[in-house]
Amino acid sequence: MIFPDVQSTAVKSFKLTRVGIKGLRKPVTIRRPGREVVLYPEIDLFVDLPSHLKGSHMSRNAEILCEIVDSSIRNPYTGLEHLCADISKMLLERHEYATVAEIDMTADYFLERASPSGNKSLEIFKLIAGAVARRDDATTRTIGVEVTGMTACPCAMETTRILLSNEHAGKDFSNFPTISHNQRNISSLIIEFEGECDIEADDLIDIVEGSLSSPSHEVLKREDEGLVVMRAHKNPKFVEDVVRDILSEVLRGYPGLPDDTIVTVRSESEESIHKHNAFAERVTSMGELRKT
Amino acid sequence: MIFPDVQSTAVKSFKLTRVGIKGLRKPVTIRRPGREVVLYPEIDLFVDLPSHLKGSHMSRNAEILCEIVDSSIRNPYTGLEHLCADISKMLLERHEYATVAEIDMTADYFLERASPSGNKSLEIFKLIAGAVARRDDATTRTIGVEVTGMTACPCAMETTRILLSNEHAGKDFSNFPTISHNQRNISSLIIEFEGECDIEADDLIDIVEGSLSSPSHEVLKREDEGLVVMRAHKNPKFVEDVVRDILSEVLRGYPGLPDDTIVTVRSESEESIHKHNAFAERVTSMGELRKT
Amino acid sequence: MIFPDVQSTAVKSFKLTRVGIKGLRKPVTIRRPGREVVLYPEIDLFVDLPSHLKGSHMSRNAEILCEIVDSSIRNPYTGLEHLCADISKMLLERHEYATVAEIDMTADYFLERASPSGNKSLEIFKLIAGAVARRDDATTRTIGVEVTGMTACPCAMETTRILLSNEHAGKDFSNFPTISHNQRNISSLIIEFEGECDIEADDLIDIVEGSLSSPSHEVLKREDEGLVVMRAHKNPKFVEDVVRDILSEVLRGYPGLPDDTIVTVRSESEESIHKHNAFAERVTSMGELRKT
Amino acid sequence: MIFPDVQSTAVKSFKLTRVGIKGLRKPVTIRRPGREVVLYPEIDLFVDLPSHLKGSHMSRNAEILCEIVDSSIRNPYTGLEHLCADISKMLLERHEYATVAEIDMTADYFLERASPSGNKSLEIFKLIAGAVARRDDATTRTIGVEVTGMTACPCAMETTRILLSNEHAGKDFSNFPTISHNQRNISSLIIEFEGECDIEADDLIDIVEGSLSSPSHEVLKREDEGLVVMRAHKNPKFVEDVVRDILSEVLRGYPGLPDDTIVTVRSESEESIHKHNAFAERVTSMGELRKT
């Protein structure tokens, strides 16, 4: 039986910027330093569509994904972003009408961490990866991470210092951390670059986690819990501080990144004193950062 | 044209406990003390299905909902639970094969609140309502609320008191609140009763909000922010404390509720020091509570 | 008592592109054609932050929102986008250090619709609105809508036509709609413009709903259900078709929109035959569209 | 330093039915037939709390989880439900004041499936597992699965058969599937039993997937897409049919399950013709099922 290729019907219409599939889940094995990890990323894949074709052949997107992931089992990629780059190039090959192909992935990811007193646990993070291939231009890759931790507010701490001093006349509240609101914070760092720069997601996680008031932990016995609270309150941070400290570390840690590398940093605190969140963001390039 | 009633096809199969529709959204006007409010609840409606019928006539569920909500516009119900009760009874009438009918609603709801220094804002809460009608038995109604606020941990505060004393030898940390972890907390109180007891959702919100370490607020200028942090830390609470304080208030505030009234209380803290939540729950009856 | 303004602390750091609050909920009354409606939008508000200030005064964002919304109660805005424009301008006034201010809103919204046989119901849609104020430039406004409806696949229909012909030799399947996969589809149209163009959200909803294979309905009795299925299958659409038909209607319906108006159209089908979604998008300007 | 055990403070209050942690994520390795799989379940753990203790020692929950999961790495469990059973027993041991301990897990899980023409892909499913340990009674285990697939409506098909006949007088529409609405469907089967019955999650997935109108697939080339649509429309199903067919298969496939085994079956169709979902459920015991 021959079935009509409805997608290839000639039309005279508008071109489309992105056509493809969203929310596909697929097991992927990645070679991390010293080990192989299985990830179950959520994946989006798109190409553009010219004005003269009715539809994009979307099943090719899932097919290509299967082929490359299957063939990578014996020789795993060292990072999701490299897997993404190869898939985006193959998307351009198979969608002969497309001029640009894009893939985006996010995946849960676990790393061992120690509490202040040294208890080890596996903490959950999120990996972000992607690639954009252009027919007559370089392929860009995206590598990023999302980290959940803790922020304590530096402003409320100074206010309570005064309120406490006022309540307890004659007592000195000046040289230790006083009470403040603190909360769960979700921060992310995403880097988009051309070419082959080697950035390790584990390093990005270190940068983001180290820029919070404190990491959070799966298991905290009594003293550890107190030490985490102490650490956070000795290190109070606005979301603005978190974003800037991440930017600082990126500037310091990646002198080799070209000026046109795009850097996106976000920090969102699920404020305990509000029902809404506090948010800060910087979208910039390495070149712009260096001019600061 | 005559269309076959496929649902009424005779079968010899299993009965089903709940058949109906989920996630329907519909504007509803309710008369609250001194005003009328428009709610946009999310609604589920079910009846049971006997073993000899292929399908339930689900469109009747949405039809009944429309009829009763439409006819209530001129004379609004005083509570979602009363609207639910009438709908559940009508479901039983129209699904002549059913022995039980159930409706559940949740809706966002706003009430004016004042910050410690008296600044007013509209805070968001959630209303929970429902009813179960049984063919040969009384109709039960459910009224409940969900409140987002703040908890501060009583245990970490005592640990940091010792850690701070240890760091600052000779200083007395004994008679004021020391630093602790605090976070967004979501707590709920749900009451299920037979008959016509008059419970006001606004009162239930007062009970739950009053059982947290502190309410949270939309607008907090500097001093207010400090006062909220002070209030929370002078009133540190485990999720266990929150649930028990709500239970206490229910016992005290509703002496007229029959012994077979079902009371469900839950409290969940989105822990700042962990990536997971702390949770406490009590499901009980007024009779059992009174025996405590 | 005087409390330190920690946010205004001088620092030498990076500027930030967006600092503010996310996920605030607030009742707003809007004057729609012939009626007033209460909306409960979810709201984000941001300003930028210069490199020399430690923090943004976030409580001002919520304060301004309260003031403008409160003062609009007696004389409601005719659209969320106009409310947004005034808030964004006030954000710039109160954050004297900011060069750009942004506000985004989404709100559930109900409109009466009729089924094919004329049964009326209230269907749920989503309003999208926003504004960006720049200190030395015009304010841009965003108005958009999101519509949930139905798509039927044009490709699978032609394939099943052949499969059915093959199974039933001699039978003619050529001149009526044959079986295809269909599913829930969510499509959106967002327009961003400078100045005061009058676009009605209700018209945008009509455009998007009219570009699907069929609208979906709250209550469908037997014949109506059949008629909706017929309508969808006589009008099969890829997500690509949906996006293009929306673009066509925008081009036809808004000849007065300036060339630099930004138009974003998206369509996502929650495919019944896949666990992932099909997606199409066009981000463009009116000028570019007119060149097609 | 000695830190006070605030949780163990004596109180005179209400007992609590469930106290613990929710939403913890942890990598777990399970031995499936012929292979080992890594799962990243989301985990809830609770114990009850007597009326005389202020708080539950929640960190013990996460500690026990770590210990058992770590020690299982060399000798993995054959099912999440067996891991859960051991954890629930250990929870009772370590929370010496508790009378009941509960653990619940859900995890994404992938299995190879073939399209009608034999193309293989990995499809995503959900595993559900749990256990409840009681101090003076048997431990119950829960094993369940959630499957996403496709349903086509049997009622709309008969209505369109008549509508099409009416439009095309003289044509015979009686012996092939006519157009209907179809959509993504999520169905689940959960079994709760005492003791050591051996139920394989893979078999439960087969039962649920086989009870839908059709499974859904990651990759479908043109003919395969048509064949999936054909299969679904030759096998139209209400959510009621899906639930009953699953119940039938459980009754047929598990003659050895004791009468007091609890069986819960749910099916929810994300209706293409509505913005709400259709839902059916049966909660029952094997004994009750056998009496049908």
* D176-225 per-position pLDDT tens digit: 999 999 999 999 999 999 987 789 999 999 999 999 999 999 999 999 99
Report the mean per-residue pLDDT for chain C. Answer: 96
**Helix locations, chain A, DSSP H:** 58-71, 80-94, 154-167, 201-210, 222-233, 239-253, 286-291
Q: Which two tokens stand for residue C125?
A: 């849609």
Backbone φ and ψ of A219, nearest 5°: -120, 120
The one-character DSSP state at C234 is T
Domain boundary pick from B75, B102, B137? B137
Residues of chain C above pLDDT 90, percent: 92
Contact across the interface for A121 and D218, Cβ inside 8 Å? no
Asked whether residue C291 carries a pLDDT value surpassing 80, the answer given is yes
Backbone φ and ψ of C92, nearest 5°: -65, -35
Distance CA A9, CA C291 (A): 22
CATH of the domain at B172: 3.10.270.10
Q: Are residues B49 and B96 in the same domain?
A: yes
Sign of CA dihedral A167, A173, A178, A180: positive
Res C99: pLDDT: 97
Please spell the DSSP secondary structure of A4-59, one letter per residue: --GGG-B-----EEEEEEEEEE--EEEEETTEEEEE--EEEEEEEE-TTBS---HH
Res B32: pLDDT: 83
Judging contacts by C-beta atoms under 8 Å, the chain A residues touching residue D1 are 223
Please spell the DSSP secondary structure of chain D, one letter per residue: -----GGG-B-----EEEEEEEEEE--EEEEETTEEEEE--EEEEEEEE-TTBS---HHHHHHHHHHHHHHTSSS-BSSHHHHHHHHHHHHHHHSTT-SEEEEEEEEEEEEEEE-TT--EEEEEEEEEEEEEEETTSPPEEEEEEEEEEEEE-HHHHHHHHHHHHHHSTT---TTSPPP--EEEEEEEEEEEEETT----HHHHHHHHHHTSSEE--S---HHHHHHHHHHHHTS---HHHHHHHHHHHHHHH-TTS-TT-EEEEEEEE--SSSSSEEEEEEEEEHHHHHH-
Q: Are residues A126 and A145 in the same domain?
A: no
D67 touches chain A (CB under 8 A): no
Distance CA A203, CA A191 (A): 12
Question: In DSSP terms, which residues pair with A193 in a beta bridge?
Answer: A141
Closest-CA residue to D156 (of D131, D128, D136, D182) = D182
Domain boundary pick from D104, D123, D148? D104
Contact across the interface for B182 and A182, Cβ inside 8 Å? yes
Q: How confident is the model at residue B72 (pLDDT cuts 50, 70, 90)?
A: confident
Angle at D291 between CA D287 and CA D292, to 5 degrees: 125
Q: Is the model more confident about D75 or about C143?
A: C143
Number of structural domains (chain C) is: 2
D110 near D124, Cβ under 8 Å?
Answer: yes
Contact across the interface for A110 and D27, Cβ inside 8 Å? yes
Q: Going by C-beta distance under 8 Å and a sequence separation of 6 or more, which residues neighbour residue C170?
A: none
Residue at D194 is within a domain: yes
Distance CA C287, CA C259 (A): 4
Report the mean per-residue pLDDT for chain D. Answer: 96
Measured from the Cβ of residue C259, the count of other Cβ atoms closer than 10 Å reads 11
Q: Are residues C179 and C42 in the same domain?
A: no
Angle at D226 between CA D223 and CA D230, to 5 degrees: 135
A285 near A263, Cβ under 8 Å?
Answer: yes
Strand ranges for chain B from DSSP E: 16-25, 28-32, 35-39, 42-49, 100-114, 120-134, 140-152, 182-194, 214-215, 262-269, 277-285
Judging contacts by C-beta atoms under 8 Å, the chain A residues touching residue D223 are 1, 3
pLDDT 10s digits, C222-259: 999 999 999 999 999 999 999 999 999 999 999 999 99
The one-character DSSP state at B7 is G
Res D70: pLDDT: 86
Distance CA D30, CA D202 (A): 13
Give me the domain span that covers residue D218: 138-292
pLDDT 10s digits, B200-243: 999 999 999 999 999 999 999 999 999 999 999 999 999 999 99
Q: Are residues A165 and A212 in the same domain?
A: yes
Ranges under pLDDT 50 in chain A? none
Closest-CA residue to C205 (of C80, C109, C81) = C109
Enumerate neighbours of D (3 or more CB pairs within 8 A): A, B, C
Judging contacts by C-beta atoms under 8 Å, the chain C residues touching residue B216 are none
Distance CA A235, CA B203 (A): 40
Q: Which two tokens stand for residue C182?
A: 């269909």
Asked whether residue C33 carries a pLDDT value surpassing 80, the answer given is no
Question: In DSSP terms, which residues pair with D107 in a beta bridge?
Answer: D127
Q: Identify the three-state secondary structure at position B290.
A: helix
Quick one: closest CA in B to D50, which residue?
B240
pLDDT 10s digits, C109-143: 999 999 999 999 999 999 999 999 999 889 999 99
pLDDT 10s digits, B251-269: 999 999 999 999 999 999 9
Average pLDDT, integer, range B190-201: 90
Res D197: pLDDT: 77
D266 near D187, Cβ under 8 Å?
Answer: yes
Residue at B281 is within a domain: yes
Q: Are residues A169 and A275 in the same domain?
A: yes
Average pLDDT, integer, range B29-37: 89
Distance CA D25, CA D2 (A): 31
Distance CA C45, CA C87 (A): 9
Average pLDDT, integer, range B48-54: 97
Contact across the interface for A229 and B150, Cβ inside 8 Å? no
Residue at B57 is within a domain: yes
Res D85: pLDDT: 96
Measured from the Cβ of residue C248, the count of other Cβ atoms closer than 10 Å reads 16
Q: Identify the three-state secondary structure at position C225.
A: helix
Residue at B2 is within a domain: no
Q: Which two tokens stand for residue A188?
A: 């992310």
Q: Which two tokens stand for residue B187?
A: 């707590």
C3 touches chain B (CB under 8 A): yes
Q: Are residues B128 and B215 in the same domain?
A: no
Q: Which residue has the tokens 């997606």?
A: C279
Interface A–D counts its CB contacts (< 8 A) at 60
Closest-CA residue to A160 (of A139, A177, A147) = A177
Backbone φ and ψ of C253, nearest 5°: -90, -15
Res A73: pLDDT: 83
Judging contacts by C-beta atoms under 8 Å, the chain D residues touching residue C123 are 275
Closest-CA residue to C55 (of B222, B224, B107, D5) = B222
D99 near D135, Cβ under 8 Å?
Answer: yes
b/e string for A247-285 if b means 16 or more Cβ within 10 A? bbbbbeebeebeeebbbbbbbbbbbbbbbbbbbbbbebb
Q: Which two tokens stand for residue C101?
A: 């201010």
Q: Are residues B286 and B158 in the same domain?
A: yes
C11 touches chain B (CB under 8 A): no
Res D32: pLDDT: 83
B106 near B127, Cβ under 8 Å?
Answer: yes
Domain boundary pick from A82, A101, A130? A130
Q: Are residues B125 and B167 in the same domain?
A: no
Q: Are residues B62 and B131 in the same domain?
A: yes
The one-character DSSP state at A84 is H
Contact across the interface for B275 and D58, Cβ inside 8 Å? no
Residue at D91 is within a domain: yes
A146 touches chain B (CB under 8 A): no
Distance CA C100, CA C89 (A): 9
Nearest to A233 among B159, B162, B179 (CB): B179
D164 near C176, Cβ under 8 Å?
Answer: yes
Res A32: pLDDT: 83
**Whether this model's pTM surpasses 0.90:** yes
Q: Are residues A118 and A191 in the same domain?
A: no
Q: Are residues C122 and C147 in the same domain?
A: no
Distance CA C26, CA D230 (A): 49
Q: Are residues D148 and D74 in the same domain?
A: no
Backbone φ and ψ of C228, nearest 5°: -65, -45
D243 touches chain B (CB under 8 A): yes
For chain B, positions 219-238, list CB contacts with chain C under 8 A: 219-223, 225-226
Please state the separation of Cα D16 from the chain's center in Å: 27
Q: Identify the three-state secondary structure at position A256.
A: coil
Res A33: pLDDT: 77
Enumerate neighbours of A (3 or more CB pairs within 8 A): B, C, D
pLDDT 10s digits, B176-189: 999 999 999 999 99
Contact across the interface for D218 and C276, Cβ inside 8 Å? yes
Res B225: pLDDT: 97
Asked whether residue C188 carries a pLDDT value surpassing 80, the answer given is yes
Residue at D123 is within a domain: no
Asked whether residue C196 carries a pLDDT value surpassing 80, the answer given is no
Residue D184 identity: R
Q: How confident is the model at residue C70 (pLDDT cuts 50, 70, 90)?
A: confident
Measured from the Cβ of residue B284, the count of other Cβ atoms closer than 10 Å reads 20
